[in-house]
Structure 1
Amino acid sequence: MLTYTAIASTAAGQLFDVLGDLYGLVYAEPPYNEGPEEVARFRDGLPKEATRPGFSLIVAEDDGLLVGAAYGWRMPAGSWWSRADRDPPSEVRDADKFAVMEWIVHPQRRRAGIGAELMRRLLAGRTEPYATLASNPASTARAVYERAGWKQVATSVLPWGPSMDILVLSLPVGGK
């Protein structure tokens, strides 16, 4: 049976191993082609991610097996992606934002609405007026974001990967 659960930051550590396994499976695929080094970097960063203000993790499990996850945290007013080639519009820069850091679904469970429900739950009730994320422009997810109303406002180049499109989505006032 498919269930969705919001995981508190204090309990997130219990899922780091299986979350890292799912990350490795998803990002081994093109266009990412990530290997053990990138997966290790992801795993090593999870404890710090879970302590960020406004951290939120939603998981999808089917009979106890992790099939999807989405998480992020609050990006405070005045802050922006460190490697962005330009600032966002001032109304975005000057507001708190919710930064979606990962949104992953097991390859064999895609196209069943799991990803959409994860994102819906992750963004529901947020108090920030905007969400932001970085997406590989060659990924299937990039087109999904565009169809869902996300708008590109910048590009970022990571030292360990390809250029990423930085996207913003206006959230309903008061998270409704």
Structure 2
Amino acid sequence: MLSYTARTGPAASPLFGPLESLYALVYAEPPYNEGPEQVARFREGLPEEAIRPGFTLIAAEEGGHLIGAAYGWTMPAGTWWSRAEQEPSREMLDAAKFAVMEWIVHPERRGEGVGSELMRRLLADRLEDWATLASDPRSPARAMYDRAGWRQVATSVLPWGPPMDLLVLPLPVVDV
């Protein structure tokens, strides 16, 4: 049976091994074509990401296997992507943002709504004003973001890989 769980902070660490395996599988596909070096970089960065403020990981599991995951953390007001070529609007820059760092689904489970449910749960009840993510413009996921209402506000160039589209999505206001 398919189940979804939310983990925050270091409580997510038991999922790091399965998450690394899923990452390696998904990002070995074109257009990414990532190998052991990129997977190692991902693995090494997970503990630091997990202690960032607002870190949340949503996992989709079935039969004890991780079939999808989405996670991110709070990007504080006044900050933006470190290698962005443009800044967003002042309104966006001055607001807290939820940075979606990964959103992956096992290739054999795509098209079943797992990814949509992961993102719905990840962004539900967030206190930030905006969600933001970086997307490879060559990826099939890029068109999906457009259909879901994400809009591009900048690009970013990392020392590795292609330039990335930086996208944003306004989040619903939550009364606290």
Please indicate, yes or no, whether the TM-score normalized by the shorter chain is above 0.5. Answer: yes
Q: Distance in 2 between matches of 1:4 and 1:13?
A: 16
Q: Which residue of 2 aligns with 1:120?
A: 120
Q: Distance in 2 between matches of 1:56 and 1:92?
A: 21
Q: Which residue of 1 aligns with 2:52?
A: 52
Q: Distance in 2 between matches of 1:65 and 1:94?
A: 40
Shift of 1:10: 2.5
Amino acid corresponding to residue 156 of structure 2 in structure 1: S
Normalised by the length of structure 1, the TM-score is 0.98
CA contact (8 A) 2:10 2:47 kept: no
CA contact (8 A) 1:128 1:175 kept: no
Amino acid corresponding to residue 47 of structure 1 in structure 2: P
Q: Which residue of 2 aligns with 1:171?
A: 171
CA contact (8 A) 1:124 1:175 kept: no
Q: Which residue of 2 aligns with 1:67?
A: 67
Local SS of the residue matching 2:42: helix
Identity of aligned residues (%): 70
Tell me the matched-pair count. Answer: 176
> Alpha carbon RMSD of aligned pairs, Å?
1.1
- Given the superposition, is the C-alpha separation of residues 80 and 35 from structure 1 closer, same or farther in structure 2, using an over 3 Å criterion? same
Amino acid corresponding to residue 171 of structure 2 in structure 1: L
Q: Which residue of 2 aligns with 1:6?
A: 6
Q: Distance in 1 between matches of 2:38 and 2:171?
A: 31
Shift of 1:175: 7.7
Please, which moves more after superposition, 6-15 or 164-173?
Answer: 6-15
Q: Distance in 2 between matches of 1:13 and 1:140?
A: 29
Q: Distance in 2 between matches of 1:105 and 1:81?
A: 24
Q: Which residue of 2 aligns with 1:136?
A: 136
Amino acid corresponding to residue 157 of structure 2 in structure 1: V
Moved segments of 4+, more than 2 Å: none
Normalised by the length of structure 2, the TM-score is 0.98
- Give runs of aligned pairs for residues 36-47 of structure 1, distance below 5 A: 36-47=36-47
Q: Distance in 2 between matches of 1:149 and 1:121?
A: 16
CA contact (8 A) 2:8 2:54 kept: no
Q: Distance in 1 between matches of 2:121 and 2:43?
A: 23
Q: Distance in 1 between matches of 2:49 and 2:133?
A: 15
CA contact (8 A) 2:154 2:165 kept: yes
Instruction: State whether structure 2 residue 8 is matched by structure 1 residue 15.
Output: no
Q: Which residue of 2 aligns with 1:109?
A: 109
Unaligned runs of 5+ in 2: none
Q: Distance in 2 between matches of 1:141 and 1:104?
A: 10
Shift of 1:174: 1.0
Q: Which residue of 2 aligns with 1:28?
A: 28
Q: Distance in 1 between matches of 2:56 and 2:50?
A: 8
Q: Distance in 1 between matches of 2:117 and 2:90?
A: 30
